[in-house]
Structure 1
């Protein structure tokens, strides 16, 4: 396999943000009198609002009415309350630099909104290195559906069998698999190795992958 490009999930992968997203969902639902716990929503982080909202309020969706208000409130909390407390995953910038040095085409494949993604890329300290992205605006359904992965492949004009995705959640692996893309997973999202079992390799964080780059599946571009 010759590797042409790498798809990048950002939340939980390059930014340690999953706990913040879970707390934002708890507060957003609570603001509209829906009671959910952190423990209930945390295992679902990695999905988009179109997947999460109906799990707790089947009568709602993220496109209209109260469901959209909850989704918008969660986004506001990330941008105005939690964003300033987020930290990059260890080795985030170093890994992206190495990928670029190896001539790989980089494309963000994220369920985040464009406003959130702008913030996240800055937190990850890679906003000057990555310039192509697909967001929730580019897909009908979020992960674990393959829409975002397929949109990223199309936008970058990359073949699925010549790409690897970097992700942190089982939903990244499921979505990528449906699109024919292999995934390298990081434990930065807080998911167990059992949950990440569909990945072709698992590392603690981007820093560990940088350390072992030459024996990793990414070292296939030559």
Structure 2
């Protein structure tokens, strides 16, 4: 029986992937790096510490220019994007359904802890979350398994007792590296072919919630 369901946030529970990409584009442009949205967008979902060097070789969170860009990216996101964000379809229903089935809701996100509270507030999700793991809990961000492993530890469950729900190939890879099955959602705007390694694929939280209500349900059946 599934004891815990690990949830990514951006693109999974909140429709925010494009917003994050726009914030990166704007912050990079202010620093003199003209990077098109189309290059940034496929990278959303991995840790921010990986996004920057992937776009501008030689830049990282360990350098002063990199720290400045990363800080500015968050400022732009909070000022321009956060007020307009909305939950993905059926996100709250899915969390409530998981809890009704006796499983714990564990957040496993590449976001920083300081960002998570504001993100969860978009859908008033915090009362439905039992535990949360962020990039602050991990030595390496997604697609490394560290955040997933940290979530298992906080939930006090084994990999076989948990399932991950995400929207990117980075979620799938991180989960599988930790030995956890991963259900992918298309609501994050990522092409289905990039999610082919997921154990199941659904359109959005609403579809997954509806299927959860129909016994017998198996996480590996789409």
TM class by smaller structure? over 0.9
4+ residue runs over 4 A deviation? none
Separation of aligned partners in 2, 1:131 and 1:32: 39
Separation of aligned partners in 1, 2:123 and 2:165: 14
- 1:200 is matched with 199
1:131 Cα deviation from its structure 2 partner: 3.7
Separation of aligned partners in 2, 1:46 and 1:124: 19
* Pair 1:210-2:209 in alignment: yes
Separation of aligned partners in 1, 2:8 and 2:119: 11
Q: Deviations over 1:99-148 (max 9, x none)?
A: 11111022110001122211111112312211410111111221111111
- 1:14 is matched with 13
Structure 2 SS opposite 1:158: coil
- 2:51 is matched with 52
Q: Which runs of 5+ in 2 are unaligned?
A: none
Separation of aligned partners in 2, 1:150 and 1:30: 35
1:39 Cα deviation from its structure 2 partner: 0.3
Confirm or deny: 8 A CA contact 2:105 2:128 kept in the other structure: no
Structure 1 SS opposite 2:5: strand
- 2:81 is matched with 82
1:193 Cα deviation from its structure 2 partner: 1.4
1:15 Cα deviation from its structure 2 partner: 0.3
- 1:128 is matched with 127
Separation of aligned partners in 1, 2:166 and 2:73: 22
Separation of aligned partners in 2, 1:125 and 1:89: 13
* Pair 1:71-2:65 in alignment: no
RMSD of the alignment, in Å?
A: 1.4
Separation of aligned partners in 2, 1:217 and 1:190: 24
Structure 1's 110 and 31: CA in aligned 2 closer, same or farther, altered over 3 A?
same
Separation of aligned partners in 2, 1:34 and 1:49: 16
Q: How many residues matched?
A: 218
Separation of aligned partners in 2, 1:54 and 1:153: 29
Structure 2 SS opposite 1:164: strand
Q: Deviations over 1:34-83 (max 9, x none)?
A: 11110001011101111111112221211331111111111112222210
> What is the 5 A alignment of 1:114-193?
114-193=113-192
Q: Which runs of 5+ in 1 are unaligned?
A: none
**TM-score w.r.t. structure 1 length?**
0.94
- 1:38 is matched with 37
- Between 9-18 and 51-60, the greater mean CA deviation after superposition: 51-60
